[in-house]
């Protein structure tokens, strides 16, 4: 799947500089691609592009197939003649350039897109209709969003029988047609802009590594239009059991995600069509896809729907190779990366071996002086993706400050750091660079570093704290900061370690 050593940068699209509250699919993103290419990187990893939840989490979305309308570039709409330069002024964000403002971006971009839709000619509207016809998910998603508008954004299970049941809503679709056509137009525009970004990256030798949350939200177009595929009570539309993970590195109570679980027996009846369609759609957007919480395909933590924490749960067998055999029949050898972190087991190891998908290694998890961790680089298999840290980790510099003296000493000794100035921060932190270079030396075919660690930032730049509901996904940066990254250093280590 991956046959040459390479490296990449993890930077979510929301974090890329723009005038619009979050990063957008325009020239700003192209300049970021140029920057990392100039440093010798050949992968750009993004978090899910799906519409995020109220708190900004891209892992809790109302649509597994859609792209968030917040990412649409107002400047590109001007170039396409859909809005004027004056129209986009209301989309300009005057708050901090270092913090994502999802509420502002959501409303401002939606208002602008309604203006663009009203200005769109018949030719563009015909293209959006064709897009919806060619993408089955877009029709149900557009109808879902139109019904959301009709019912003041209430969850679908509060819409009443005529609309809460998808099959009934289809009979009433004419009542929602105008609004549904608008949302199909929005997806057509979003996918068109992203296609241009992907082509721009690929033309410059940068591949895009996407991210797929394993679960979907209860209040989503996917559950609404495919109820039989989930553990949903057909009488009152309630969840039977929900997703989560048991107590682990990140949380002593585990993490209670609350997503409805899949009804794998039902999914198997039609050859796992929903999953195959989802992967096919993802491979149109990305060159490679990382599936979050991959271990749930081997076995997953099922928690009673009324539980207060994830401690009350049990392991249940997942679909295993039955799913991936079918996927390989339909798609061939898919370029999938398995997020195999967290609670582990022999069933997960076997599934990884059987699929031959590369797993993940995170050096921060390895610095335990009392064990020979699989996350220490000397134990990395070639068929793996090595991370300095993921979006769920604190930054490398923050880890050094927060670690126990024993763990910190072990980490610095392991990475051959000399001297007592490990606490020096900034772009030239020698202690952080010693750890980065240790990851770069590893046998793993791909090594990934977050933009925050690229810059040597502290804990205030952390993207997410697992188990915490508020205050995540906020990190943004500026063009000035990107310009200050020491490109010569990263170009050198990419050359030195043949990445």
Residue from 392, 437, 460, 479 carrying the catalytic annotation: 392
Residue ranges of the alpha helices (H) in 420-484? Answer: 430-441, 451-455, 479-484
Report whether 230 contacts 223 (CB < 8 A): yes
Q: For residue 53, indicate whether it is catalytic.
A: no
- Indicate if the alpha-carbon torsion angle 380, 318, 65, 240 is positive or negative: negative
Instruction: Give the span between the Cα atoms of 130 and 419, in whole angstroms.
Output: 63
Query: Which is nearest to 464 in space by CA: 475, 453, 451, 476?
Result: 475
Residue from 101, 339, 340, 453 carrying the catalytic annotation: 339
Report whether 292 contacts 214 (CB < 8 A): yes
CA angle (455, 21, 63) in 5-degree steps: 100
Instruction: Give the span between the Cα atoms of 433 and 368, in whole angstroms.
Output: 19
Q: For residue 479, indicate whether it is catalytic.
A: no
Q: Which residue in the block uniquely carries the two structure tokens 């750009």? A: 44
Hey, which bits of 383-479 come out as E strands?
384-387, 446-450
Q: For residue 339, indicate whether it is catalytic.
A: yes
Q: 398: buried, middle or exposed (CB in 10 Å: 19+, 13-18, 0-12)? A: buried
What separation in angstroms does the CA of 92 have from each of 13, 75, 85, 96, 107? 17, 11, 11, 12, 12
Give the β-pairing of 43-45 and 255-260: unpaired
Report whether 202 contacts 286 (CB < 8 A): no
Residue from 62, 76, 222, 292 carrying the catalytic annotation: 292
Residue 156, token pair as written in the block: 């679908």
Q: 54: buried, middle or exposed (CB in 10 Å: 19+, 13-18, 0-12)? A: exposed
Catalytic residue numbers read 292, 339, 392
């Amino acid at each position: 799947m991956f046959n040459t050593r390479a490296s990449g940068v993890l930077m979510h699209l929301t974090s890329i500089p723009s005038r619009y509250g979050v990063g957008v699919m325009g020239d700003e993103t192209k300049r970021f691609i140029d920057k990392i290419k100039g440093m010798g990187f050949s992968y750009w990893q993004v978090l899910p592009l799906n519409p995020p939840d109220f708190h900004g989490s891209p892992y809790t979305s109302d649509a597994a197939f859609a792209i968030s309308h917040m990412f649409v570039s107002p400047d590109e709409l001007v170039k396409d003649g859909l809005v004027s330069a004056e129209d986009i002024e209301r989309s300009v964000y005057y708050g901090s350039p270092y913090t994502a403002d999802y509420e502002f971006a959501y409303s401002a971009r939606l208002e602008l897109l309604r203006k663009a839709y009203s200005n769109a000619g018949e030719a563009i509207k015909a293209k959006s209709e064709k897009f919806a016809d060619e993408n089955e998910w877009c029709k149900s998603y557009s109808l879902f969003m139109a019904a959301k508008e009709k019912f003041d954004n209430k969850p679908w299970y509060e819409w009443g029988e005529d609309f809460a049941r998808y099959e009934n809503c289809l009979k009433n679709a004419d009542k929602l047609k105008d609004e549904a056509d608008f949302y199909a137009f929005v997806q057509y525009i979003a996918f068109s802009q992203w296609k241009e970004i992907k082509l721009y990256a690929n033309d410059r030798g940068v591949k895009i590594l996407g991210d797929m949350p394993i679960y979907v939200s209860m209040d989503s177009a996917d559950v609404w239009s495919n109820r039989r595929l989930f553990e949903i009570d057909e009488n009152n539309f309630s969840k039977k059991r929900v997703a989560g993970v048991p107590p682990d590195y990140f949380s002593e109570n585990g993490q209670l995600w609350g997503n409805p679980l899949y009804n794998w027996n039902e999914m198997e009846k039609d050859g796992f069509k929903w999953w195959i369609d989802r992967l096919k759609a993802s491979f149109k957007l990305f060159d490679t896809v990382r599936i979050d919480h991959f271990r749930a395909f081997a076995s997953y933590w099922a928690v009673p729907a009324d539980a207060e924490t994830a401690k009350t749960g049990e392991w249940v067998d997942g679909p295993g190779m039955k799913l991936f055999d079918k996927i390989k029949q339909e798609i061939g050898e898919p370029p999938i990366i398995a997020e195999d972190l967290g609670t582990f087991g022999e069933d997960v190891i076997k599934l990884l071996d059987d699929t031959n998908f590369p797993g993940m290694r995170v050096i921060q998890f390895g610095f335990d002086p009392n064990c020979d961790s699989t996350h220490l680089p000397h134990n990395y298999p070639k068929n793996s993706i090595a991370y300095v840290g993921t979006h769920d980790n604190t930054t490398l510099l923050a880890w050094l400050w927060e670690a126990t003296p024993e763990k910190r000493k072990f980490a610095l000794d392991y990475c051959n750091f000399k001297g007592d100035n490990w606490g020096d921060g900034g772009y030239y932190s020698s202690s952080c660079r010693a750890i980065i270079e240790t990851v770069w030396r590893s046998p793993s075919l791909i090594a990934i570093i977050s933009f925050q660690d690229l810059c040597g930032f502290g804990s205030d730049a952390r993207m997410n704290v697992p188990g915490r509901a508020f205050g995540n996904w906020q990190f943004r940066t500026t063009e000035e900061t990107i310009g200050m990254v020491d490109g010569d250093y990263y170009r050198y280590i990419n050359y030195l370690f043949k990445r």
